[in-house]
Amino acid sequence: MRFDTVIRNATVVTATDSYRADVGVGGDRVSAIAAQLPADDAGRIIDATGLLLIPGGIDVHTHLDMPFGGTTSADDFETGTIAAAFGGTTTLIDFAIQYKGQSLRQAFDTWMKKAHDKAVTDYAFHCIITDLGSAQLEEMGQLIRDGVTSFKLFMAYPGVFMVDDQTIFRALKRTGTNGGLVCMHAENGGVIDELVKEALRRGDTAPKYHALTRPPRAEGEATGRAIALAELAGVPIYIVHLSAAHALEKVREARDMGLPAYAETCPQYLFLSYDNYEEPGFDGAKYVMSPPLREKWHQDVLWKGLAKNDLQVISTDHCPFCMAEQKELGKGDFSKIPNGAPGIETRLTLVHDGGVRPGRISMTRFVELCSTTPAKMFGLFPRKGTIAVGSDADIVVFDPEKSATLGVKTLHMKVDYNPYEGRSVKGSPAVVISGGQVIIDGDRFVGKKGSGRFLSRGPSQAPSGL
Ligand code: URP
Ligand code: ZN
Ligand code: ZN
């Protein structure tokens, strides 16, 4: 058997196992795994002695080239996927937005155009629904047949994305027959809107008031309500970017009752806190995102949730805006600061350094949270999310001892600050293979613009009991 690439002497880590093996790649797939593979006529040999082979990271929550808050997120599908690849992420699921009055198809077509000629890694889409008439309700089924099998709804951002409980319930009910999965932004938008108006009336305009007007209880309430609505509709639900103990408690309670409730958290909620909003001047704007960063004690609760599977996925919610000209839009009024922060490149290294190294989670759990469960949750497994014969050859040769200092100078995201500036971490990708091709070799990008493929996803495998 001839291989295009043989990776030798590796420790392969999947969600379940860690073992020594050689891995052979033929075309875009893994074609053999054995204790020793013949490599004499292989196109390329990679010696992975002392290194780990993990399935490419899957980031199921990104916003590339996204118009939001009067501006557009700073990374497009080229810069964003290159940065993702540097960080060991080889698949992402971005959000195609349906604006009011539009068909869902228009959203899908618009985001396909944004990604098609630019992405360097494989990609897929969720569809954000803001307007659900009977035509769009029917269209959900068509989108699912086209491989967009999940839909994000918002309980916050009134006047922009927020939909009411009746709309949420209709969408949830429909997924019971069309096989889709609803992803929920769970914060009580009405309460928050009132708190924001009160703060502005008082003259409290600094970035920290973004956090102080979005209390964790408002996230807990909405999370509980979303789960109740899903229970009433008799379908699973997936809570996005969960940040607070109050919300996790609702997910845990539901899961203990046997309900199919799932949730992701993001590195910013594990490593940053409300204290960041107290940084001098306007620097708190760097961390303006929704939900906001919480008091530090929530971090521990989230880590425990990850270890105990009350949380199943770590995504990034990568939504970068530069301080210059973008975050600055909210100088003098925190409610005008575009919501979001960069993170597509730093997820694996942060979770490895702060999760695996101190023993909060195992290396197999790391793979499960960052790749395998994301693939299963969103209908990509076993093509993605594992290293197995027949799976896509999306492989990260990960050096658990490689040190890095995070910062704008060393990272590749197209944004003028980094929330983790100066932080030292251990554990980074050495080589990244996407679809059988090496695209990151050390500190060089060697892939090709437009080589990423659209992934038509199947139904979520979540109801099988993740
Ligand atoms: O602040 C955030 N999270 N920005 C992106 C939009 C969203 O709600 O996910
Ligand atoms: Zn959201
Ligand atoms: Zn988001």
| pLDDT reported for residue 69 | 94
Ligand 1 atom with minimal separation from the 161 CA: 8
- pLDDT at position 119: 98
Q: Which-ligand-closest: CA of 183?
A: 2
Taking only the tens place, the pLDDT of each residue in 181-221 is: 999 999 999 999 999 999 999 999 999 999 999 999 999 99
Q: What is the pLDDT of residues 233-251, one digit of tens each?
A: 999 999 999 999 999 999 9
pLDDT digits (tens, 9 = 90+) for 278-315: 999 999 999 999 999 999 999 999 999 999 999 999 99
Both tokens of 333, joined, read 């009024």
**What count of residues does the chain have?**
466
Contact 226, 155 (CB under 8 A): yes
Under 8 Å between Cβ of 202 and 189 = no
Which pLDDT belongs to residue 205? 98
**C-alpha of residue 319 to centroid of ligand 3, in Å:** 7
Closest by alpha carbon to 5, among 310, 377, 435, 297?
A: 435
- How many CB atoms are closer than 10 A to CB 328? 17
1 confidence band (pLDDT: 50, 70, 90): confident
For 251, which DSSP code?
Answer: H
pLDDT, tens digit, 9 for 90 and up, residues 357-398? 999 999 999 999 999 999 999 999 999 999 999 999 999 999
pLDDT at residue 266, as a whole number? 99
Q: Which of 59, 60, 62, 63 to mutate to test the pocket of ligand 1 (most atoms within 8 A of CB)?
A: 63
Instruction: Give pLDDT tens digits for 397-433.
Output: 999 999 999 999 999 999 999 999 999 999 999 999 9
Ligand 1 nearest-atom number relative to CA 154: 8
Establish whether residue 62 lines the binding site of ligand 1, counting it when its CB lies within 6 angstroms of any ligand atom.
no
The CB of 268 under 6 Å from ligand 1? The reply is no
Model confidence pLDDT, tens digit, residues 8-52: 999 999 999 999 999 999 999 999 999 999 999 999 999 999 999
Average pLDDT across the chain, whole number: 98
Ligand 2 center from residue 289 Cα (angstroms): 9
pTM as predicted: 0.98
Among protein residues, the one whose CA lies closest to atom 7 of ligand 1: 290
**pLDDT computed for residue 177 by the predictor:** 97
From residue 162, give the alpha-carbon distance in Å to each of 142, 226, 231, 443, 459.
23, 13, 21, 41, 25
d(CA 226, CA 223): 5
Nearest residue (CA) to ligand 1, atom 3 = 290
DSSP state of 249: H
